[in-house]
Structure formats: structure tokens, C-alpha cells
Amino acid sequence: MEESKDVKPVRYAYGLTTALLLGGATLSLATGYPAGAQVAQNEAGQMAHVVPRGGAPASFADLTEQLAPAVVNISTRQRIQVQQNNNPFAGTPFEGLFGGGGGASPQTREAQSLGSGFIISADGYIVTNNHVITAEGRGEVESITVTTPDGEEYPAKLIGKDAASDLAVLKVERSKPFPFVKFGDSSHARVGDWIIAIGNPFGLGGTVTSGIISAVYRNTGGGGAYDRYLQTDAAINRGNSGGPMFDMNGQVIGINNAIFSPTGGSVGIGFAIPAETAAPIVQKLIKGEAIERGYLGVRIQPLNDDLAESLGLERNKGEFIQSLEPGGAADKAGIKAGDVVVKVGGKEVTKEQTLSYLVANTEPGSRVPVEVIRNGRRMTLNATVAKRPSEDELQQSFSSDDDQQNADPFNNPPKQQEQGYIEKSIGLSVTPLTPQIARQLGASDSVKGLVIVAVDPSSDAGQKGFARGFILLQANGQDVSTQADLESAIRAAKADGRSAILLRVQPRGQPSAFVPVRIR
């Protein structure tokens, strides 16, 4: 399962992505860690006299006083590699005459990051975000320091981290027990519930903000197995990453992690990793266990308006299979490119419960039923879920040849007959794929289809990146090798009342992809 997020100490997003708050937020650990006779700060008995009654609380002061001792500031000292240009003529016509082409030499500089975290056991285990304690680029973290609310500083040891979920666990030592908190049950969180967030925004030190849960299981469009957040209007900013989100029972139900912002600061849209997602991962990190996730080996796309219209299906229900990894779990199960997956293991695939999430949280080696829609028919296939490869292996498995991206796809194609209907309908001029053109495109002799020779830039196809030299393989699931095939498919789509047609197209040097194109 692969959907393509660049993790940085601070990530801001505006539009379809979110920004990690350096310290964004991380979850506090649930239960089961050695704490001797110690009691969590948010244990039921401890909270009996400080939990606000129903309705709008008059004050969060008692709740904050009880919980704040377990929330810490986290800072790192990093060594970052940078390029230093020593050529005094850099940027001038004489640059190449001195210093061997610029005199660039690798240099390093010190950098720092600030974030938040919270203690989850009396013996000093701390949860935070992975991006809080990870250096940017080719940097290296030299030390991690934890500062408690009373101002005491402790060197921290990294116990484990997981980039996919953006979680990390640290350990600090001292002779006496630490105050700590535990995870609550985020699955019971409801839109409108009061919450408070405690963290270290902008390095100011312990800061408390309050608000409500604005949405549950919010999908931010970043893709990936853990794109499911609790959304809040509580003020969250840079430095809050890794800090806890508490419910009114004093339980950690989320880890502040990201914001949606056009300004770089809080605009009332913040995101936290749900406790139900984080707690099992944190437990494995503490035990030193590997984090294994399920994997089908497919490239997917949400069922947006155009795609749903071209298929005659309901939008936001299911995800579209663009391509498969040969020999992967999906391929072995009989899943095909062009299928729409609507259920996995009996659970519906929705915008809030994506295919990536369902598969990643399935035990590798498990055999699960996968329900798909193919050419308008529902069918159930059984897939044995594989183990998700590393990120480097994933990039190689779906690699593409980018060396010839900007080359003219072919030279001197045959002159075209008038194609008024196709051009007027979808803005494309096409010609049959001849052996000569196939060689110029670097396509296999076995490939059959139509070659795009011109694109109307004002058409939907033009807006979606169709270009001269792309090969059209299919239209609405049917192979097309002549203009008549394509025209017939367009007419059939119109007859069915569809305002879009689904084209399978292969750009040069890239895997084929399904793209819905609006019919004019």
C-alpha cells in the first residue's frame, strides 16, 4: 500500500497537507509499565476532586495543576551538513575558472529543535513525536535533553522511534519516581467534547490551551497508514509537537502533531494522533519489538468526483487501484488495476477509514476477504497480507524512468484525419500506435493503443496533464486501438448519463494510470 509525506522538524501545510509542529504532539502511553507503587497523575482516584462537572467548566486550573507535572519540554542538539561555496566568483561568468567548478566543500553547523513530550511511567519513559528528535536532511542528533516543569534537566536516551506513525519513546533516569500520566480511550471521543492541550509552543515553556474536539478520525489528505487524526480548535503551534491532549477525565486521548494553517501559526485547526493508534506502537517500541504493518502492493487513489462519475459509482466510498506490484499480495489475490476496493476484512473503505489504514493495521500473513467492484460487478477476493517493505524498497518497487521525461515522445507521426467528435468531446487528437512510433516511445511491441498527438489545453484532459506522446490503452475498461474504439466508448458513456470517461493512459517511462476526464 503506498501513498506518497516529508517529515521535517517543523512542517506546515496549507491545502491538502498538514504541518508538523516541532513539537507537534505525541501520545502518552496507556498502561502496563513498571511503576512500582506509584500512581499516575490521571488515575481515577487522583482525579476525583479535580475533574470538572458536565457542561462548560468554570475553570481548567485544578485539572491542569494535576496533569502538568508529567508534561516535559524536549530539546535536541544537532549537527547539520551544509554546502559551503568558497569561490569568490560564484554566480559570475568566471565561476568555473576558479576552484574546480565552485569550490563547494561540505561543512557542518549546529542546530537545535524544541518540542514537547509526556512521561508515561514512574521510571521515566517519555513519549514524543519522531520528528521532534530527528534531524533534518543529512543531519545527526548529538544529544536530547528533557526539561521537567520544575526546571530540572535530564539527558535522554532514545529507546525507539517509528517514522510512519511519527512516534518516539525516550528514557530519563533519576533516583526518585517521576510523575506520569496514562492513555485514555480515544475511541469514545465525540465531536464537541472539551479538551486541554499542554506543551511548549515556540519554546516558551509549559503552556495550556483549551478547546473542543472539532472532528474525529479526520483524514488530512496526506496519505499513509496513519492519516487519521483528532481535530481540535485548541491553540496548537510550533513546539507543541509531542505534547498530550487530555479529555475532561484527565486521560491522554491524543498527541498534538500537526496544524492546518496559511500563516504558520494556529488558526484553530490542529490535529492529534489518537491514543488508540499510538498506544500499541509505543508499547512495542518500549519492548524493542519491530513495528510490522500489512501491505498489499498497490498504488491507490481516492474515489473523487470525476473518478466516481466516470465509473458511475458513489463518491467517497472505496478506493481506486491505479497499479499493482507484480507478484505482490494484491496481484496474487486476483485484484486488478481499475478495481475499486470497497471493503477489507468486512470493514468499509471510506474517507475516514482508508484502504491504507485498514491494510497497514492488519497482521502480516493474515488472510482477509477484499471486496471490489469491477466493471460494475461486486466480487470478493481473498488476499494474504504481506509485510510492508522499508521506504527505500517501496520507492524502488514503483520506480519510473525519469531520464527521458522532457524528450519529444516521437518524431513525425502520421498525419491525422479529422477527429471532430473525439476532439470536441475530450480535447484529444489521437493516432493508432504503430511499431515505428512504439519504438520511438520506448514502448513494448506488445502494447496496443492510441497515441496522443495533440491536446487542447483548455480541456479537462489538458488541465490534468495529458500530453503529446501519451499512450491511451483503455477507455471505460475497454481496449482502444482505433479512433472508432475511443469514439464508441465516449458515446457509450454519454448514453449512460455519465459526464466523465475513465481513460487508462501510459506516459513515457512511467507506469500506466487511470485518469477520469470530463466530457464536454
Residue 465's contacts (CB-CB under 8 Å, 6 or more residues apart) are none
Torsion 462-468-474-479 (CA) sign = positive
Strand partners, 452: 430
Evaluate whether 219 touches 3 at the Cβ level (below 8 Å): no
The residue among 493, 422, 432, 504 whose CA lies nearest residue 466 is: 504
In 3D space, the residue among 152, 78, 73 whose CA is nearest the CA of residue 119 turns out to be 73
Find all residues with CB under 8 Å of 386, minimum gap 6, and list them: 294, 295, 296, 297, 328, 329, 364
- β-pair partners for 114: 75
459 sits in the region (left: phi over 0; alpha: psi -120 to 50; else beta) called beta
Is-catalytic flag, 241? yes
Told to judge if 131 belongs to the known catalytic residues of this protein, a careful annotator would answer yes
Cα-flanking dihedrals φ and ψ of residue 440, to 5°? -65, -30
Q: Which residues contact residue 322 at a Cβ distance below 8 angstroms, ignoring those fewer than 6 apart?
A: 298, 299, 300, 301, 337, 511, 513, 514
Write down the catalytic residue from 241, 261, 266, 310.
Answer: 241
Q: Report yes or no: 74 and 87 within 8 Å, Cβ to Cβ.
A: no
Amino acid at 109: R
Residues 270, 359: contact at Cβ < 8 Å? no
C-alpha cell at 23: 513539537
- Identify whether 166 is a catalytic site residue: yes
Burial (CB count within 10 angstroms: exposed 0-12, middle 13-18, buried 19+), residue 226 = buried
- The active-site residue, picked from 166, 339, 460, 485, is 166
- Integer Cα distance of 208 and 244 in angstroms: 10
- Give the other-Cβ count within 10 Å of 404's Cβ: 12
Grid cell, residue 288, equals: 524493542
- Choosing from 28, 116, 121, 131, which is the catalytic residue? 131
Catalytic positions, please? 131, 166, 241
